[in-house]
Amino acid sequence: MRARYAKAVAHTWRRGDAADLTSDPLELVRYACLAASSHNTQPWSFELDRDVVLIRPDFSRRCPAVDPDDHHLYASLGCAAENLVVAAQASGRSAEVSYDPASTGVRIALGEDGPSGSPLFEAMFARQCTRTVYDGRALSPSELRALESLPQEEGVSLLLLRSEQQKRAVTDFVLEGNRVQFADPAWAAELRAWIRFDARTAERTGDGLYGPVMGNPDVPPWFGRLVMKMSFSADAQNRTDHRNIDSSGAIAVIHSAGNDPQHWISAGRCYERLALQAAALDLRTAFINQPVEVSHLRAQLAQYLGIGNRRPDLVIRIGHAPLGVRSLRRPPAEVLVAGRPEHVP
Ligand SMILES: Cc1cc2nc3c(=O)[nH]c(=O)nc-3n(C[C@H](O)[C@H](O)[C@H](O)COP(=O)(O)O)c2cc1C
């Protein structure tokens, strides 16, 4: 990895002090932006008021091919909201989250009477989507208990699949999803547009999928596009996904009772909470969302899981592995739409 990229990573992921939130409200936005987002699009903007933060969808960052109904876009807002809640609580503030119908975003009311800290604050700097092979170990009973006992948002549930038979079934859905997606030129073009083949481009944009984060070398963009043209195939991706799922200790499925932005945001919050708890346990997570992105597979997955009309929102593999290369973020000032308040007491 280039030295400059390593410096940008260190800056993006620097561990701040929760106390800084009282003197610099932009820190709250920075922590929120460390959350996961689909293709690292960071499809959000923030409006900061004294006691209220509004996280709005940024539709200029939509991914209509992979995410035609904006499910992932709203789930990403939920991820950012959850990080913001954790950061606020770490600084002793309460954070009341609600859906804002006017903006179809998230409203977070901050109060002075919060808990005295948050056990997941540290995990915000450790969480990442780790797309490497894991070590094949099952999750221990205490790890499973810690994940299963996480509180879920209203209407949202978490299923943890652990048997070899369940892993094989999910693998089959993922492989079929790859076949469908790789056959769609619009899907491939959209993915290519969010790939950052070299560190210079990744640093300049502060978003997207940097090659080494995805397990590929840093190469000049022209060369990356050429290699992609020649070697991009469902078969190659299937071999990778097969091996990766096989090496994971468990698969989480987040599903919800409703199929609307409010529930998608809640599902995103539950994912981020799960990923933070996993990171706190030194567990790695990575999405394998193909079965929920291809609509006919989503229906088949719901049937396989026996969850009736509920929507399977997100599929995540979990296991043990070293941390991988980190992704970057845009600077907080770039995602702030309203004026920066002088001071949040
Ligand atoms: C709703 C949602 C869907 C995602 N889907 C996928 C996916 O299908 N495959 C994948 O590898 N990563 C997926 N991601 C992970 C993002 O690419 C990742 O969060 C982003 O690149 C930032 O990296 P980080 O989470 O490691 O900081 C998804 C993230 C979100 C929030």
Best residue for ligand 1 mutational test, from 83, 156, 205, 289 (most atoms within 8 Å of Cβ): 289
**pLDDT in the model for residue 1:** 57
In this structure, is residue 134 part of a structural domain?
A: no
Best residue for ligand 1 mutational test, from 180, 287, 325, 330 (most atoms within 8 Å of Cβ): 287
For residue 309, the enclosing domain spans: 141-319
- The total number of structural domains in the chain stands at 2
For residue range 241-279, what is the model confidence (pLDDT) as tens digits?
999 999 999 999 999 999 999 999 999 999 999 999 999
Neighbouring residues of 243: CB distance < 8 A, sequence distance ≥ 6? 133
Residue 20 clears pLDDT 80, i.e. is over it: no
For residue range 282-338, what is the model confidence (pLDDT) as tens digits?
999 999 999 999 999 999 999 999 999 999 999 999 999 999 999 999 999 999 996
Same domain membership, residue 293 and residue 190: yes
CA pair distance 59, 342, nearest whole angstrom: 28
In this structure, is residue 302 part of a structural domain?
A: yes
- Average pLDDT score over the chain: 95
**pLDDT in the model for residue 343:** 44
Same domain membership, residue 119 and residue 156: no
Same domain membership, residue 176 and residue 313: yes
In this structure, is residue 221 part of a structural domain?
A: yes
Q: How confident is the model at residue 25 (pLDDT cuts 50, 70, 90)?
A: confident
Residue 201: give its domain's CATH number.
3.40.109.10
In this structure, is residue 133 part of a structural domain?
A: no
Q: Which atom of ligand 1 is nearest to the CA of 73?
A: 1
pTM for the whole structure: 0.96
Q: Is the CB of 40 under 6 A from ligand 1?
A: yes
Do 61 and 41 touch, CB atoms closer than 8 A?
yes
Chain centroid, CA 214 distance in Å: 14
| Residue 289 alpha carbon to ligand 1 centre in Å | 9
The SS3 of residue 62 is coil
Largest CA distance in the chain: 58
Whether the CA torsion 27, 318, 177, 184 is positive or negative: it is positive
Tokens of 49: 């008021």
**pLDDT in the model for residue 59:** 98
Q: Is the CB of 287 under 6 A from ligand 1?
A: yes
Same domain membership, residue 83 and residue 154: no
For residue range 47-95, what is the model confidence (pLDDT) as tens digits?
999 899 999 999 999 999 999 999 999 999 999 999 999 999 999 999 9
Neighbouring residues of 233: CB distance < 8 A, sequence distance ≥ 6? 182
Q: Is the CB of 262 under 6 A from ligand 1?
A: no
CA pair distance 199, 154, nearest whole angstrom: 40
Q: Is the CB of 196 under 6 A from ligand 1?
A: no
Question: Average pLDDT of 15-35?
Answer: 87
| Residue 32 alpha carbon to ligand 1 centre in Å | 15
Same domain membership, residue 307 and residue 271: yes
| Residue 267 alpha carbon to ligand 1 centre in Å | 14
Residue 111: give its domain's CATH number.
3.40.109.30
Question: Average pLDDT of 188-211?
Answer: 97
Same domain membership, residue 331 and residue 307: no
Question: Average pLDDT of 193-200?
Answer: 97
Task: Give me the residues paired with residue 251 across strands.
Answer: 161, 317
Give Cα separations from 207 to 54, 63, 130, 179 (angstroms): 21, 14, 17, 27
**pLDDT in the model for residue 330:** 98
Closest CA to 106 of 172, 171, 54, 177: 54
DSSP class of 208: S
Residue 340 clears pLDDT 80, i.e. is over it: no
For residue range 90-118, what is the model confidence (pLDDT) as tens digits?
999 999 999 999 999 999 999 988 887 88
